[in-house]
Amino acid sequence: MTGQDIDINGPDGRFSGYLAVPDTGKGPGIVVIQEIFGVNQVMREICDTLAAEGFVALCPDLFWRLEPGIQITDKTDAEWQKAFDLFGRFDVDAGIVDVDATVEHLRTMDACNGKVGAVGYCLGGLLAYLTATRTDADASVGYYGVNIHEKLDEAEQIKKPLMLHIAERDEFVPADAQAAIKAGLIDNPHVTLHTYAGRDHAFARVGGAHFHQADADLANGRTLAFFRHNLT
């Protein structure tokens, strides 16, 4: 597995991304959609892990319009304040344009077999949902996406497989929002919903305050099986 920073050309300009390619040199593509901490070590390690599983993983810098190159952690109050400031100023509609450009970038790569999925976390979980509603990505997975309930009017646009991992006790997605998500998506044959009892937001973020090994392993195993089924 090899990883490197590359440039991606989008409709609104050029931005960077972290690319990890499997040792075989070829595989399905996956866009890894960042949390509110930028393309940091956590996102890079997710890309590396996916590459080790045979996928060509690319994590685009979606904060490039605000401040390129953000790589912060969840370990200090100052970093959390910075992350929430970026989240508050982030343009979701522009971000999904960049995700779409990243999907297309992967499809043009010799290393990619032509199939491209997306997986996102937190802010990226919302963008993974919107990847399913607004792009032609072949499959999408969202972990504890925030504000999906505000975009349920787009659910009818989902034509490709989508899996959502929902944290039952998510501090950023209250019970009524979770109920709305389930009601709005449960009848869509393209959507698979998994709820993790007792888990809080970011239960799959390694090193995070709410990390839960068993449920992270369960969610990640489901994600890998989902991508292998839909992208290979």
Amino acid 77: pLDDT: 96
Amino acid 111: pLDDT: 97
170 tagged catalytic: yes
* Position 35 confidence tier, pLDDT thresholds 50, 70, 90: very high
Residue 2, pLDDT above cutoff 80 = no
170-179: long-range contacts (C-beta < 8 A, 24 or more apart)? 170/144, 170/199, 170/200, 170/201, 171/200, 171/201, 172/122, 172/144, 172/146, 172/201, 173/144, 173/145, 173/146, 173/148, 173/149, 173/201, 177/148, 177/149, 178/149
Which two three-digit tokens encode residue 207? 């090193």
157-188: b (≥16 Cβ within 10 Å) or e: ebebbbbbbbbebbeebeeebbebbeebbeee
Residue 120, pLDDT above cutoff 80 = yes
* Position 131 confidence tier, pLDDT thresholds 50, 70, 90: very high
Amino acid 57: pLDDT: 98
210 tagged catalytic: no
Name the average pLDDT for the chain: 97
Amino acid 34: pLDDT: 98
Find the catalytic residue in 105, 149, 165, 201: 201
Amino acid 101: pLDDT: 98
Find the catalytic residue in 61, 170, 200, 215: 170
Query: Domains along the chain?
Result: 2-227 (3.40.50.1820)
Chain segment 90-108, per-residue pLDDT in tens? 999 999 999 999 999 999 9
